[in-house]
Every structure is written in C-alpha cells, then in structure tokens.
Chain A
Amino acid sequence: MKDHQISETDVTTHPVKIAARDVQVYYGDNHAIKDVNVDIEDKTVTAFIGPSGCGKSTFLRCINRMNDTIDVCRVMGDIRIDGEDIYDRVVDPVQLRAKVGMVFQKPNPFPKSIYDNVAYGPRIHGLARNKAELDDIVERALKRAAIWNEVKDRLSAPGTGLSGGQQQRLCIARAVATEPAVLLMDEPCSALDPIATAQVEELIDELRQNFSVVIVTHSMQQAARVSQKTAFFHLGNLVEFGETDKIFTSPEDPRTESYITGRIG
C-alpha cells in the first residue's frame, strides 16, 4: 500500500487515466507481478524501468489484456481505465484493444501497403463511413506519427519496404489511427539506430498532447528524456513510482538507487 500512498501524495496535474490496484499475475506457478498499485495520468508519458524479467512488460500487457492470448497466464486484481474495470465480464478484450493501442519492440508492419497498414484498425472497427473519411483518418494518423511527409507519395508501397525507424513510426501511426485513449509502448526503440530512436522519442513527446503514453524501456537515459513519471520494477514488485526527475535525482528506495547507478540489473 506504500506505492498507493506515493501516488496520492504526488502533485498530479492531470486526471488519472489508468488505476491499478493489487494486481497479481501468475505464469503457471510463477508469481510474475506481485501486488502492484499504480495511477497513470492522462496526457503524460509514464516510463516503466527495471532489470530484465522484472515484470514491466507483463504489467504493460495487462493494460490491454494481451496476456489473455497466453494460456497459462492468470491476472488478478483491479485495473480501471477511466473508471471502467477492464477485466469485467462485460468488457470484450477485442474492443478494449482498440481503445488501448500498443506498439511493439520490433517494428511489425503487416505485409500490406502503407495505406492498408494504417487503415487496418479503422476498417475493422468501422470508424470510416466512406473512402474519403478513411483517407482523412490515414492522413491524420500518419501526420501524428510524423511520417506523413516521408510516405505521402507512396502510400501504396509495401510497409515492409520502409527503413526500421520509418516502420516503427508506421506502427505508431497504425496504433493511433483507431483513436485510442492509451498508447502502450514495449521497448519501441530497442531495434532502432540512434537517429531513428531520436525521431521516435521526439514523436512520443508530441503524442503526449493527445494520449496517455506508457513506455517500457531498458534505457534509463530514454526514460529520463521522454517521461514525466517513472515506475521502477524489481522482481515483480513496483518498488518506486513518482516524478521522473525525482526518481533519477533522489530515489527513496535503495534498490532504485542501485539500479539507476548501475549496481543491479
């Protein structure tokens, strides 16, 4: 309950978007996430950091119920987005994932054209009534993902033909095209070179205007650069959560300090 208190004592400038209480995740007999409580704010970039296997990606995948696709995985506890319990029986995980977009570690454009990649979500969810509306949605999404100028002349070219950084921005465009409330990013830059990483980081900062962004990263510099809030996970526990500046300058927990100074992890 300590973490809970921290988030309450924090000065929050934005309303809470995602509220998690007493979340437990088991992979078979393995207790992967232990009693996590966290409040994630709207229009904020929240970074999850921690050593490999600490559960940060697992927790991220609880937020859009991607863990449901893994047979042996069980999630317990309470996660609410805008006050709605996403693990309630009436919630369809398929519809939830349209509201909670996800960007993966490795760029994974579909073997389709750039246009069809972005239009994939809107088509499935029937967001456009006609071709003109769909064109608008695609254009807006590509502009938001800061890739419009690079691809506007070759929308019918295959998405897999783009460079790695462009592919990842295409995947971000694909995720924002369904107008999600939350954008989850699972190490979005770990397969990219430094220039592409800089572009994607800049993009994440812009996305903050419209979305609540949660990013899992192994790079502490990246967490410091792009996030306002940081959560440090260790061995399935949420050790510390707070303002990014504070976590990196004066962490309260000795484990956080050890990790950011490079002594564990």
Chain B
Amino acid sequence: MTATILGFPTALVLSVIVIGIAIIGYVGARKRAMDKAGGDARNLHSLPNYYGMTAAMFAAIPALGVMVIWLFAQPMFVQNAVLPLIPASETANAGAQNLILSDVRRVADGLDVAISQGALIPAEITAMAGDPSNLRTILGTVGMALGSEVQPYVLAAAQKTRALSAQGRLWMVVTVITLALIGAALALRAAGPAFRARNVVERGILALLIGAASLAVLTTVGIVLSMLFESVNFFRLHDWKDFFLGSSWAPNFRGDSDLSILPLLWGTLYISLIALLVAVPIGLFAAIYLSEYANSKVRSIAKPLLEILAGIPTIVYGLFALLTVGPTLVRIFGRGEDGVLGVEWMSGATSVLTAGLVMGIMLIPFVSSLSDDIINAVPQSLRDGSFGLGATHSETVRQVILPAALPGIVGAILLAASRAIGETMIVVLGAGAIARVSGNPFEAMTTITTRIVSQLTGDTDFASPETLVAFALGLTLFVLTLGLNVVALYIVRTYREQYE
C-alpha cells in the first residue's frame, strides 16, 4: 500500500482511530452505567466492565470488519472500472489481460511514489498523457522498474486507478469512523441498570469463537475447491478414463502423454503397506513395553528417545534410505554370487522395500507414542480386575488391555497410514521414479506424491495436461486420506457404542 496518512498506511492509522474510539466508548459506557446505578454496582444487571466491553465491541467489530472487506473489495471494483479504457484487442485472452492490469497497477503505484518523492508533479503527468514514453525512465529512478514502455492507454488507466483509489480510501475512512462512532453511541445510550450487558458480550464472544472455528473449515473447503477447479481443467484436456483406468504413466512434454493414476496408486499403496508392516508391530510392542512393563525410570528415558524419531525431517530419512538402507539391501538380495544370499533379485538401491522399510521406521514413533497414551488411558480398575481373577500380566495385556484400547490403536494405525500415503521425501529418494504395477518389492516404483513433485518442478505451463495432472493427483490423494479418516472414525464410533 502506497496510500499513507502522515507516512503510515491508511489501514493502520484507521485501526488505531477505531481502537481509540472503542477505548473511549469503554470508559464512557462503564462510567455512564455506574452513574445511572447511583455509583453502586449491585444495582446493575451486569458487572460494570461488561457495559464498557459492550461499547468497545459495538465500536470496533463492525467498523474493523467493514474496513477489512473494503480493503479486499476496492481493488476489484477499481479494476473493473478501468478495464473499458484498455483496447479490446490487447485483452484477447485472460493471460494478456492480467499482464496489462498488473502493468496498470505498477504504473499507478509508481506514480504515487514519484509524486511523494517529488520526482513528478501531477501537472507533468497530465501533460504526458499523449506520449508517456519517458515515464519508464522516471519511474525507474524512484525504484519502480517496468517491463516495457508505458502505452498511453496504460497511463490513462493508471491515472483513473489512482483517482478511484484515492476516492475509495476517503470514503472508507469516513464510513469506518462513522460506524465506530455510531456503535459506541448506541452502546453508550443503552448502558444502564436495565441493559443486560453480560449477555450481549457473551454472545459477541460466542460469535468470535464460531468465526474462528469456521475459518479453519472454510480454509479446507477453499483448498479442495482450488484443487477441484484445476482438476476440472485437467479433465477438459485429458480423458478421465485414461486417468483412472489407464495402465501406464508416461508423461511427455511434447503432448499426447499417458497419464494414468493406477501405477502410481499401486506404488503408493504397496510402499505404505510395507511401511505399516514394519511400523505397526514394532510400534505396538514398544508401546506395550513402555506402558505396561517398563519402570518409570526406563520410561522417562526411552519414550522421549523414541519420540525424537518423529522430529527427524523426512529428507534425512530419505538420505538414510538412499545411502544406507538401499545399498545394504542390495548387498543382501543382489549382486549374485558376491551378495550375502547369493541371489540376483535386486539391481538398484532404490526399491519398494527400501522406501517401505525407512518409512516404517519413520512411522514407529507415531504408532508407539499414540498407542502408549491410549494404553495408559485404560483404567487401572480393569487391570486389577484381571489380576484379581488370577490372570498373568501377559494375559491381561492380550485379553483385557489391548481390546479395551483397540479403537484408539486403530485410529493410530490409520493416522500412520495417511502419513505413509502422503509421504514424499523418503519415496523421492528411496523408491525410484519408475511407474509400474508389479508385486516384486525389490523393484523401483514411484508414488503419487513424487509424481506431483516432478510434474510441477522445472519449466511448467499451467495450460498443459502434463502439469494440470498434478492437481488431479493431489485431489485423488486428498480423497484417499479423507476416506481413510472417515473409516477410522466409523470404526472408533461403532466400537465406542458397543463398550461405553
């Protein structure tokens, strides 16, 4: 924002003014309520502070809300207003139109800066309207670099943008301050023994909390929608049958590629399965040991150590897969006569097994830490009951504690599964880049996430199916993990209904 008041951004100054009005309203309303109550707070419906808070709330919230909306909406209105000034021939497609509009904005901002620094006076700009050819140099000297010579229509549009923006800002200031004053005045007028200020404040706080909660949900919806629109674009350019049912993944930047998700989905699920086969037994046994058998001293050391695994960045796990686990596996399962087993099953270090093993190690702390908490939450009375019947410790764990903790453990496993499906860096380095459907765990395969990375890195053209496919892949991944979470919730809930 180049628009300033005394050197500060308009929005900041305006916020300070509104907050000032709110504070004055707070003090005033509190005092007025007390005066009306004859100086005795017991005559009031609510505590005196609530009257003040009502005034502050009425003054600040609508005014600041309108300001935020105004700040977002104004550029759009201005843009629509200046669009007719640009010749239709220059705005044939959306890309060109965006370029010109951004030029207009930059010129407008540049003119503001130039005027504030004294490099230009408004009359000079008006004089340049017919031939703005040296404007680029002048704006360059004030630090606003332009990509091309300024066309006359760009200057005209920029001038109009400046005029409209200045006008809009003025109206915004007037509206916001008026709103703040009206809000404060209303609350001030209402303040008195009969006004139920506490209820009003609490309803206001409730609205605030609901707003915070819905913001998170709306963000999710926004993410899904943005993925959805790009995916729709992709399916306009590429046959959906090939995407979902085709058999090969062979992107080709000259066009006409095979873009089927199936080989990638197979790789994703295969690697995740191996990772879970590693993580679930080890994690669960570790959790049982820690929560049931370890004494408090061992536990206080072992649990944090195990949880450190969860703090290692996944790229480090990827390096571990690439440099240590992969070559070790090759030494065991490959190299023919020179290998440990004397077999020739594995040729390269990158394979499903490499990535799966390392990912499994990464998931162990997730499974163990969550399961440990869940096992600890099983009431001691159940253990006592089982011991009291002459069950041994292991019988108690197997037949009472694990069944009681099962819903939570299933939840932990599904959480680990969705991490495995969404994991990227380990598979980039450990699994290879070959998309294929095969049951051989010693072969290199690739996953959905790594292909999203490779389709979006480097030179990308967001109009080609080879790039847009990343969004369709991302959306599929999202639906997959969402489905997994829904299933997890369903399992947990039916189990709860049965046993609580």
Question: Which residues of chain A have a CB within 8 Å of any CB of chain B?
Answer: 64, 66, 69, 71, 94-99, 101-102, 104, 106, 108-112, 120-121, 124-125, 158, 160, 171, 174-175, 178
Q: Which of B385, B390, B399, B500 is in CB contact (< 8 Å) with A96?
A: B390
List B residues 383-400 near A (Cβ within 8 Å): 384-392, 395, 399-400
Beta-carbon contact of B390 and A111 below 8 Å: no
Q: Which residues of B contact A101 (CB under 8 A)?
A: 388-389
Q: A120-B399, A124-B391, A124-B395 are in contact. Are A110 and B386 (CB under 8 A)?
A: yes
Question: Which residues of chain B have a CB within 8 Å of any CB of chain A?
Answer: 295, 379, 381-382, 384-392, 395, 399-400, 403-404, 498-500
CA distance A104 to B383 in the complex (A): 11
Q: Which of A104, A108, A124, A171 is in CB contact (< 8 Å) with B390?
A: A124
CA distance A160 to B386 in the complex (A): 15
**Pairs A–B under 8 Å by Cβ, sample size 17:** A64-B388, A66-B384, A97-B388, A97-B389, A101-B388, A108-B381, A108-B384, A108-B385, A110-B382, A110-B403, A111-B499, A121-B391, A124-B399, A160-B499, A171-B385, A175-B389, A178-B390
Residue of A nearest to B385 (CB): A108
Beta-carbon contact of B403 and A111 below 8 Å: yes
Q: Which of B379, B388, B392 is in CB contact (< 8 Å) with A66?
A: B388
Beta-carbon contact of A158 and B391 below 8 Å: no
CB distance from B272 to the nearest CB of A (A): 30
CB distance from B38 to the nearest CB of A (A): 52
CA distance A104 to B499 in the complex (A): 20
CA distance A171 to B392 in the complex (A): 18
Q: Which residues of A contact B391 (CB under 8 A)?
A: 94, 120-121, 124
Q: Say what secondary structure dominates the interface of chain B.
A: helix
Q: A94-B391, A97-B387, A111-B499 are in contact. Are A104 and B381 (CB under 8 A)?
A: yes
CA distance A108 to B404 in the complex (A): 12
Beta-carbon contact of B384 and A124 below 8 Å: no
CA distance A234 to B388 in the complex (A): 26
The 10 closest A-B pairs by CB, nearest first: A98-B390, A102-B388, A108-B381, A97-B390, A111-B499, A121-B389, A108-B385, A111-B404, A94-B392, A110-B400
CA distance A94 to B390 in the complex (A): 5
Beta-carbon contact of A108 and B379 below 8 Å: yes
CB distance from B207 to the nearest CB of A (A): 40
Beta-carbon contact of A158 and B499 below 8 Å: yes
Q: Which residues of A contact B499 (CB under 8 A)?
A: 111, 158, 160
CB distance from A15 to the nearest CB of B (A): 24
Known: A108-B382, A111-B499. 11 other contacts (CB 8 A): A64-B388, A95-B390, A97-B387, A99-B390, A102-B384, A108-B379, A110-B386, A120-B386, A121-B391, A158-B498, A175-B388
Q: Which residues of B contact A125 (CB under 8 A)?
A: 390
Q: Which residues of B contact A124 (CB under 8 A)?
A: 389-391, 395, 399
Q: Which residues of A contact B379 (CB under 8 A)?
A: 108
Residue of B nearest to A160 (CB): B499
CA distance A106 to B388 in the complex (A): 14
CA distance A120 to B392 in the complex (A): 12
CB distance from B493 to the nearest CB of A (A): 15
Residue of A nearest to B407 (CB): A111
> Which of A71, A94, A101, A171 is most buried by chain B, counting CB atoms within 10 A of its CB?
A94
Q: Which residues of A contact B403 (CB under 8 A)?
A: 110-112
Q: A104-B384, A106-B381, A108-B379 are in contact. Are A98 and B404 (CB under 8 A)?
A: no
Q: Which residues of A contact B386 (CB under 8 A)?
A: 110, 120
Q: Which residues of A contact B382 (CB under 8 A)?
A: 108, 110-111
CB distance from A162 to the nearest CB of B (A): 12
Residue of A nearest to B500 (CB): A160
Residue of B nearest to A157 (CB): B498
Beta-carbon contact of B388 and A178 below 8 Å: no
CB distance from B415 to the nearest CB of A (A): 22
CA distance A19 to B10 in the complex (A): 90
CA distance A242 to B404 in the complex (A): 43
Residue of B nearest to A112 (CB): B403
CA distance A111 to B404 in the complex (A): 6
CB distance from A178 to the nearest CB of B (A): 6
CA distance A158 to B403 in the complex (A): 13
Q: Which residues of B contact A108 (CB under 8 A)?
A: 379, 381-382, 384-385
Q: Which residues of B contact A102 (CB under 8 A)?
A: 384, 388-389
> Which of B379, B387, B500 is most buried by chain A, counting CB atoms within 10 A of its CB?
B387
> Which of B295, B385, B389 is most buried by chain A, counting CB atoms within 10 A of its CB?
B389
CB distance from A142 to the nearest CB of B (A): 15
CA distance A124 to B386 in the complex (A): 10
CB distance from B499 to the nearest CB of A (A): 4
CB distance from A96 to the nearest CB of B (A): 7
CA distance A64 to B388 in the complex (A): 8
Beta-carbon contact of A121 and B384 below 8 Å: no
Residue of B nearest to A174 (CB): B389
Q: Which of A71, A112, A120, A160 is in CB contact (< 8 Å) with B389?
A: A120
> Which of B295, B385, B399 is most buried by chain A, counting CB atoms within 10 A of its CB?
B385
Q: Which residues of B contact A109 (CB under 8 A)?
A: 385
